[in-house]
Structure 1
Amino acid sequence: MKILFRMLCLVLLPLAIFAKDSVEKWARYEASFQATISGNPFVGIPFKATFSNGKISKTVAGFYNGNSEFKIRFMPEEEGEWKFVTSSSHKQLNNKTGVFMCVPPTGNNKGPVKVANKYHFSYANKERYIPVGTTVYAWTHQSTALQYLTLNTLKESPFNKLRFCVFPKDYSYVKEEPELFAYHQSKKAETIQGKTKYYWDFTSFNIPFFDSLEKRIDQLDAAGIQADIILFHPYDKKRWGFDSMGYENDLVYLQYITARLASFKNVWWSMANEFDFVKYKTWQQWDDYSRFVYENDPYRHLLSIHNGLEIFDNWKPYFTHASIQNCSAVEDFGRAVLYRDAYGKPVVYDEVCYEGNLPQRWGRLSGEEMVAAFWQAAIAGTYAQHGETYRMPGDTVFWAKGGRLVGTSIPRIKFIHDLQKQSNGYWQLADVWRDHQTAQVDSSEYIIYFGKKMTNQWYFNIPKKNGPLGTAKYKAEIIDTWEMTITPVNEVFEVRSESDYRLIDINNKSIRLPDKPYLAIRLKKIK
């Protein structure tokens, strides 16, 4: 009988385990609780849950989801059994317990993106992440049909990161009135001198708005795209008042949105777009808000703040990377790396102007200029962000509202991304002091970029710093970054030391190049 009992236990134990709720590592676990609250359920009701798996304990904030429903969300970062217990001053929400199994990730689930190798990024599963981003500021505030067109466009593009705003924008080429807002109105809107005057209750959130936002974030995740969410921006212009809610209301908003979205693995926090153009917030407030988001995100998602003209204190410890607007930083050699060296963390040039045909100077880059910006960023060990601002009859400006992409830079951006993925590591300058054209992974691979300069001959030479030790031989390829061609060179190059700083070929060999701009050479060591 004892033997039969043990055999039965062995059979039933796995069934008991798998009968529990299960969620993949880095996916989202959710639990709901009903509670009747007198007064405003969005504020004043502390509600949180502590999750533990025996080794790790993590506390997450809950939130009110309407219809007397409170939710907690959790992103498990370790496999195995997790238990949780809630705590609240409200009896109906206090001391609720639960258990679930965290199972291995499947498919495209690589986990959230984190900082790696000081200046770069990787997924939580250690796979390299090379950001290739674009911008669609107000896409979630457009019609449902346009939002789905944008999603389909993004799925067919090379982009794996999207910057967009929580709040709507009132700016050139995006003037539409959204169907959904983040807040309920405290009283009916009025029309005064031809303009709509809104009266918001900044302590009462509109659940359908957040349901729609969360659906779009999940759809981006399914497409392999990181959601770089802009929490504030200056382009409200007193139309809705979301840029001037006041300090306490701003904190209520940040508390609510971090409680709702922190468990989404593809979320990045951008505190603001062009923070210094927001008239109603001080530098001290930005510091407070940034620290608040950091402290209220139990998973430490990537966090940045984007500048207009003045640059914020990006070296603050709660900023994981620098989000920089500066077109000149990627216009020529030796500039992009300066921000990286100054901040000692990854640099993403989230605005380098946009490819398009707008009259504004920021919206009329050529495709060649946009591609060159990506190359200048890449060889410096930094990252550029795309944006498209073509205005055509019957179409949208993609950067503002989404829709279709028509620019010439996109396949070339994919081309450089593919080259980076083919490498065995991250690109970075081989000699940051003296050679701003030569990037390397290590001594096994070099990329020399010529930019706008046209030269018909290149004599083999690479920096001695971080170079090969002893004898080394290399094969070369000519890369046409615009035509997207890779042409092998028949010669084999063998290095010798020319000076304390350069390595050249022992026979002073050179490569003949087409007389055109935007060429590069890739060198690979022969094993």
Structure 2
Amino acid sequence: MKKFLLFACVLLTIACQSHAQKTIQGHKWETVDITFIAKGHIAKPFQVDLSATFQAPDGSQLTVPGFYNDNNTWVVRFNPNQEGTWTSVSTSSIKKLNGVTHIIEVSPAHADVHGGITVSKTDPQKLVYEDGSPYNLVANEVDWLFALDYGNPNLTKTKTLVEAISANGYNQIIMNVYAYDLDWTQSENIDPKWDFGSKKEIFPFLGDNENPDYSALNVEFFKHYDRVIDLLEDHGISAHIMIYVWNKMVNWPEANSEADNMYFDYVVKRYQAKSNVVWDISKEALRYGYDDPNYITERIDRLKALDAYKRLVTVHDFEYCEANPDKVDIISAQFWHSDIYSKMLNLKAEYPNKPIINLENGAYEACQYDIFLDSNYSDPISAIERNYQCAFAGTYTSYYWQGMAWNVVIYDPFADEVTVQPKFEYYKHFQAFLDKVNFEKLQPTNRYNSSGYCLANTEDGEFVYYMPKANSALAVKGLPKAEKLEIQWFNPLTGIYTEPYQVDFKSWLVVNPKFKGVDNVFIVKLINRKQ
């Protein structure tokens, strides 16, 4: 893949210099960097206008903006969504870069490549990949992921963490473009190798966070960020990119200033072609007095005008999403309530045409240090239970481990020196469960259960029940008529499934928990359904 991208860049650099039309090879839904090089002094390279208009095999067109990549070099990132022959022509305020043409022959997608994340055409509250395959979102927040290996192109620490995350079922990382540090109290005995806050050498502009130079962006910062995004893509993980954050001590330029717009536009131009990107305008968007709803709305409009690939966009602030649901593609909530199932179920009913994610459900699983004392649920079992409750309400959810969510990133979470290790395995079981039961086909209902929670796929005659450990029994009731029911039990903490067994069924069946002392899940299938 990397060899192909380099080959493409070499060919297209020649094309830019000679205006000769060149042909390169590509694959559906995989990014190609097309490089343009100019000679001479360019006074404001970040303000140079450059784009390329691509014509697809079916005749449709796509105009993609380019971005400055240092050393008088600009890049247009192209991600084809059709097989066949594409042609393109560049438009630029630099004469030598104007009118460059090329051909890209696009082969079918590789088997493990499914395109970008989008909203299902059959159920607007579910997410799918472009090829229609389900995307059962299980997110993990790592705000400082960008900082782990700054200056190290091998990404040694980042790979260790991402491989652990990927191996345990997470398919999205919620992350900042940039954050500086925290202003709340943490343990004083934190090993410095895990602390990535206040790193002066890391900054998206020239200068540093304490003495910023907003006249230009730090391209090396973004080249490093490219490598991180590519690593996630290689592991099948989407990047939920929060473009701003207001409570991480960042010395941002003034809102709507030239520097602010330069930064925002650059992020959108540089990462829109990546299939694994989901946009988030800002973490804590309307808090801390930095901006107002009008600014967030303007940023969304600005993003949508720039993003040729129409990646999904949300805002990490329920207050904004609630007031402006038509502006976002995904409703984001931060619900910590004890009755989280009911709250998420009500939210699903309130926004029937939007996917919903609880980005912070109040559970911040503890690590060996005191990182976030406001956590309402630090126990790992409480955390996974809240994730299941969100899922049984038909919504998506996320996970926080205090040992990696913020400035402290224990990038080797299962090393012997880590005395309180995260329960990632719970989420491996969670993701496998969502896949097994075809979560994308299920809808929450209280029609078929006396208590607990139920997800139903009435078309295929499949029903999934969640029985809290407080239950001594649960009644299955009101199902469509069938000769028998097939029942299979699942332990969410161990991932163990029992062998399925069949029982006679008329209209009411009382079941008792299979696994003692834990929440139980069981799957019911209709056998010999009656008309």
Interval containing the TM-score (normalised by the shorter chain):
0.7 to 0.9
Q: Which residue of 2 aligns with 1:485?
A: 496
What is the CA distance between 1:297 and its match in structure 2? Answer: 0.8
- Structure 2 distance, partners of 1:46, 1:220, is 30
- Structure 1 distance, partners of 2:246, 2:447, is 36
- Structure 1 distance, partners of 2:311, 2:49, is 23
Long gaps (5+) in structure 1: 1-18, 190-195, 391-395, 496-503
What is the CA distance between 1:310 and its match in structure 2? Answer: 3.6
Change over 3 Å in CA distance of 1:447–1:153 after alignment to 2: same
Change over 3 Å in CA distance of 1:89–1:367 after alignment to 2: same
- Structure 1 distance, partners of 2:114, 2:98, is 34
What is the CA distance between 1:311 and its match in structure 2? Answer: 4.2
Is residue 55 of structure 2 the alignment partner of residue 52 of structure 1? yes
Q: Which residue of 2 aligns with 1:327?
A: 336
Identity of aligned residues (%): 19
Structure 2 matches for 1:241-320, cutoff 5 A?
A: 241-242=251-252, 244=254, 246-307=256-317, 310-313=319-322, 315-320=324-329
Q: Give the counterpart letter for 1:477 in structure 2.
A: Q
The structure with the largest alpha-carbon Rg is 1
What is the CA distance between 1:479 and its match in structure 2? Answer: 2.5
Describe the superposition over 1:347-373 as per-residue Cα deviations: whole angstroms up to 9, x where unpaired: 111112311153613275211111111
Q: Which residue of 2 aligns with 1:181?
A: 203
- Structure 1 distance, partners of 2:50, 2:217, is 17
Is residue 520 of structure 2 the alignment partner of residue 511 of structure 1? no
What is the CA distance between 1:127 and its match in structure 2? Answer: 0.7
- Structure 1 distance, partners of 2:278, 2:139, is 12
Report the RMSD for the aligned CA atoms in angstroms: 2.6
Is residue 170 of structure 2 the alignment partner of residue 159 of structure 1? yes
Long gaps (5+) in structure 2: 1-21, 187-195, 415-420
Change over 3 Å in CA distance of 1:453–1:333 after alignment to 2: farther
- TM-score, normalization: structure 1? 0.83
Describe the superposition over 1:22-46 as per-residue Cα deviations: whole angstroms up to 9, x where unpaired: 1111111222112245311111x22
Change over 3 Å in CA distance of 1:139–1:490 after alignment to 2: closer
- Structure 2 distance, partners of 1:249, 1:432, is 55
What is the CA distance between 1:314 and its match in structure 2? Answer: 6.4
Is residue 396 of structure 2 the alignment partner of residue 383 of structure 1? yes
Q: Which residue of 1 aligns with 2:383?
A: 370
Q: Which residue of 2 aligns with 1:20?
A: 23
Which of these residues, 106, 110, 113, is aligned with residue 114 of structure 2? 110
Q: Is the 8 A contact 2:365 2:400 kept in 1?
A: yes
- TM-score, normalization: structure 2? 0.82
Describe the superposition over 1:262-304 as per-residue Cα deviations: whole angstroms up to 9, x where unpaired: 1111011111111122422121001100121122111111111
Change over 3 Å in CA distance of 1:303–1:478 after alignment to 2: same
- Structure 1 distance, partners of 2:200, 2:161, is 16
Q: Which residue of 2 aligns with 1:63?
A: 67
What is the CA distance between 1:146 and its match in structure 2? Answer: 3.1
Q: Which residue of 2 aligns with 1:209?
A: 221
Q: Which residue of 1 aligns with 2:476?
A: 460
Change over 3 Å in CA distance of 1:432–1:281 after alignment to 2: farther
Give aligned pairs, total.
472
Which SS does the other structure have where 2:174 is aligned? strand
- Structure 2 distance, partners of 1:169, 1:404, is 22
- Structure 2 distance, partners of 1:20, 1:349, is 45
Q: Which residue of 2 aligns with 1:445?
A: 462
What is the CA distance between 1:399 and its match in structure 2? Answer: 7.4
- Structure 1 distance, partners of 2:464, 2:474, is 13
Q: Is the 8 A contact 1:25 1:79 kept in 2?
A: yes
Q: Give the counterpart letter for 1:207 in structure 2.
A: V
Which SS does the other structure have where 2:110 is aligned? coil
Q: Is the 8 A contact 2:321 2:328 kept in 1?
A: no
